[in-house]
């Protein structure tokens, strides 16, 4: 975890630059009456000494409840966030008014403070209380809840049920796609649109995937590229892809799918345009998965919150809302129930098991491929097998066409047999050998060859006998017509020039566009959360806090005070602002009425008008009826309207995001939530 506490002197400066009325009120709440003459610097030093007392720190720690702990952990995770960042983070759990109330209360209790940086207000943790706050800052259990797998097995939750489907993309599916693409002579019609016939064939072979999306993502990666109506695999990139771990391959696939989706399915895909975005997204995904534990199950709320934290950490903006869905398409996340997800097999980097059989040969020519197969072996199978089914079960077929494709790529029958024997544990039917050998024999009887054709006129045919040129000729096709290997063009030109030929005709193929990558760098990662001991049990702390406040109320009860002073001190105890007995007995009170209850109609009017004037949020508890409990509402009041003989408070509710009209007479409690003590 990065450093989350600024130097103490920085905190002192932030406190001393508070508005004077807030500064002195804060100091009076600790020391009572302030003697004159006074120096701010000495007063802040005295405050530091007070907060460092063992008994005070124990009380502050005991007062921290569940919501306090969440806000403390969130401030630590975001690293001095703006209040708005916390509002977004806690959206759906705490309303703006509720969160504001918690933050202001933590400021009054010296746990949080604010400072201005680059014209923005930011929240930070008090470094004087570092030893108290560090365990809470490191404990993300409440902030990012998760369930142990062992708890589900023990019966505290219903056992998770797998979603029943395989990942939409994995190494076996990649091999199936490679085979599928090589089977299709024409893949596209005009403007890069996949042919309907290909789409229908893809639905049969790949029932789990969106073929257009997956192919587009793999084109963005450079694994495939369009060449006219054809879709062509780039084997260099497929080979480079194998240098990554299974998890890293799927991280790249997920990143490519996210980036491709953001482009709204462009018809022309130019991988260089997406290179930096893919690497940025890959690093983000890698960081997210590193933050998860393979032994835990996560609700979607936790995963979304974690992505928000990592966005702040990595500086990644505008990340697609489809990220979590895409991680499931690549098996990096798996849904185990309606509420919970877990890391998938690829995400936990399960080792390839090459000791046991990875394939099974069924019905003579069909081959079932098991999940344990390595990436390299799966891709090798795609070179000589045709994909037939790639969903929960991955099934290939060896037929004449797939064998000829392999022979055309200089893969011999012996190499195929050797690989199948190894992967199946020697369980290969003899008919495989006979068919392959027969197809190979027939393949050699009629040949089309690719290479450089050298044509020499009759009076130049002597050049074929020169030593340098003769060494380049693979075959004499006819008098004056020779076949050279396809990469020998430049060597042949040099040999002819050495023989005195100064004009040489050369025919070139149309150059193909350069591709994006020559390799896939491993994703980088940063540790976001160190394993610091968690805070003590929340229930125990709540009990300790109740004992403390009860003791302070008992002391207050014995003190000879007027009703107003007693009410103010009682409210301070309830807000956990009283840290020691001296703060009761030496209190310097400046009463600020923040709430009105029940029959105090005039008090509710005053609180409402103050909140409207300051645009402060309020908490409202409505009266309970015989059949209804009082409703708790947080929001910002807009106006008081008279309707008949009743005053109506018009409020914009934080939870419902609409305007509510509540008669003052129906309000049991109206409480104004204070603004930050660091604001004017």
Tokens of 200: 């229908």
Give the confidence band of 517 by pLDDT, cuts at 50, 70, 90. very low
> Mind listing the pLDDT tens digit for each residue in 23-35?
888 888 888 877 7
> Mind listing the pLDDT tens digit for each residue in 120-159?
899 999 999 999 999 999 888 888 888 888 766 544 444 4
606 burial (CB, 10 Å; 0-12 / 13-18 / 19+) is middle
Share of the chain above pLDDT 70, in %: 87
CA quadruple 434, 435, 438, 443: dihedral, nearest 10: -150
- Give the DSSP letter string of 3-64: -----HHHHHHHHHTS-HHHHHHHHHHHHSSPPSS--HHHHHHHHHHHHTSHHHHHHHHHH-
Using an 8 Å Cβ cutoff, are 308 and 74 in contact? no
Tell me: pLDDT of 314 over 80: no
Tell me: pLDDT of 354 over 60: no
- The pTM of the whole model exceeds 0.95: no
The answer to which of 53-67, 289-303, 374-388, 521-535 has the lowest mean pLDDT is: 521-535
Residue scoring higher pLDDT (431 or 463): 463
End-to-end Cα distance, the chain: 34
- Give the DSSP letter string of 480-502: TEEEE-TT-HHHHHHHHHHTT--
Tokens of 282: 């890959």
Residue scoring higher pLDDT (586 or 571): 571
Using an 8 Å Cβ cutoff, are 627 and 620 in contact? no
Give the confidence band of 98 by pLDDT, cuts at 50, 70, 90. confident
Over residues 444-451, the mean pLDDT reads 75
Using an 8 Å Cβ cutoff, are 280 and 258 in contact? no
Domains and CATH numbers, the chain: 8-140+535-542 (1.10.10), 171-343 (no CATH), 359-438 (no CATH), 451-528 (no CATH), 593-672 (2.30.30)
Quote the CA–CA distance of 34 and 44 in Å, as a whole number. Answer: 12
């Amino acid at each position: 975890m990065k450093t989350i506490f600024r130097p103490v002197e920085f905190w002192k400066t932030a406190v001393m630059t508070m508005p004077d009325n807030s500064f002195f009120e804060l100091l009076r709440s600790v020391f009572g009456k302030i003697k004159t003459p006074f120096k701010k610097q000495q007063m802040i030093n005295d405050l530091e000494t007070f907060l460092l007392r063992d008994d005070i720190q124990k009380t502050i720690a005991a007062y921290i409840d569940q919501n306090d702990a969440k806000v403390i952990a969130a401030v630590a995770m975001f690293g001095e966030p703006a209040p708005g960042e916390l509002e977004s983070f806690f959206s759906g759990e705490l309303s703006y008014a509720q969160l504001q109330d918690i933050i202001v209360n933590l400021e009054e209790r010296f746990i949080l403070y604010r400072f201005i940086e680059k014209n923005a207000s930011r929240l930070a943790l008090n470094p004087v209380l570092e030893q108290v706050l560090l365990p809470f800052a490191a404990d993300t259990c409440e902030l990012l809840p998760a369930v142990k797998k062992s708890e589900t097995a023990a019966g505290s939750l219903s056992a998770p049920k797998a979603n029943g489907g395989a990942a939409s993309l994995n190494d076996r599916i990649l091999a199936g796609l490679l085979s599928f693409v090589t089977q299709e002579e024409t893949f596209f019609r005009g403007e890069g649109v996949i042919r309907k016939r290909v789409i229908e064939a893809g639905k049969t072979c790949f029932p789990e995937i969106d073929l257009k999306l997956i192919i587009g993502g793999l084109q963005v990666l450079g694994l495939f590229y369009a060449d006219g109506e054809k879709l062509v695999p780039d084997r260099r990139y497929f080979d480079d892809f194998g240098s990554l771990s299974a998890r890293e391959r799927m991280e790249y696939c997920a990143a490519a799918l996210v980036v491709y989706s953001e482009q709204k399915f462009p018809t022309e895909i130019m991988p260089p345009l997406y290179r930096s975005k893919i690497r940025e997204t890959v690093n983000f995904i890698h960081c997210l998965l590193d933050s998860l534990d393979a032994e835990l199950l996560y609700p979607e709320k936790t995963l979304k919150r974690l992505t928000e934290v990592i966005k702040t950490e990595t500086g990644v903006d505008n990340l697609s809302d489809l990220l979590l869905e895409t991680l499931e398409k690549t098996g990096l996340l798996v849904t185990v129930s309606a509420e919970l997800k877990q890391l998938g097999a690829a995400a936990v980097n399960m080792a390839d098991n090459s000791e046991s059989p990875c394939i099974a040969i069924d019905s003579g020519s069909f081959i079932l491929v098991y999940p344990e197969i390595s990436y390299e072996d799966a891709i090798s199978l795609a070179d000589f097998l045709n994909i037939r089914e790639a969903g929960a079960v991955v099934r290939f077929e060896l037929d004449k066409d797939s064998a000829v494709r392999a022979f055309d790529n200089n893969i011999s029958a012996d190499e195929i047999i050797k690989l199948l024997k190894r992967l199946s544990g020697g369980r290969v039917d003899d008919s495989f050998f006979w068919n392959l050998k027969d197809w190979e024999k027939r393949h050699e009887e009629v040949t089309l060859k690719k290479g450089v054709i050298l044509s020499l006129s009759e009076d130049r045919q002597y050049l074929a006998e020169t030593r340098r040129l003769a060494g380049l000729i693979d075959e004499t096709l006819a008098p004056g017509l020779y076949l050279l290997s396809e990469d020998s063009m430049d060597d042949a030109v040099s040999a002819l020039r050495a023989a005195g030929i100064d004009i040489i005709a050369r025919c070139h193929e149309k150059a193909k566009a350069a591709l994006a990558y020559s390799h896939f760098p491993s994703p980088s990662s940063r540790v976001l959360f160190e394993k610091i001991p968690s805070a003590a049990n929340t229930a125990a702390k709540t009990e300790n806090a109740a004992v403390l406040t009860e003791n302070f109320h008992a002391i207050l009860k014995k003190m000879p005070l007027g009703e107003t002073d007693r009410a103010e001190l009682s409210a301070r105890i309830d807000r956990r602002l009283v840290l020691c007995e001296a703060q009761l007995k030496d209190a310097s009170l400046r009463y600020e009425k923040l709430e009105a209850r029940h029959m105090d109609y005039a008090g509710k009017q005053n609180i409402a008008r103050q909140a409207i004037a300051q645009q402060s949020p309020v908490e409202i508890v409505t009266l309970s009826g015989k059949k209804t409990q009082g409703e708790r509402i947080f929001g910002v009041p807009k106006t008081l309207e008279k309707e008949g003989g009743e005053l109506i408070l018009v409020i914009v509710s934080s939870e419902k995001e609409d305007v509510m009209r509540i008669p003052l007479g129906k309000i049991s409690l109206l409480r104004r939530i204070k603004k930050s003590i660091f604001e004017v």
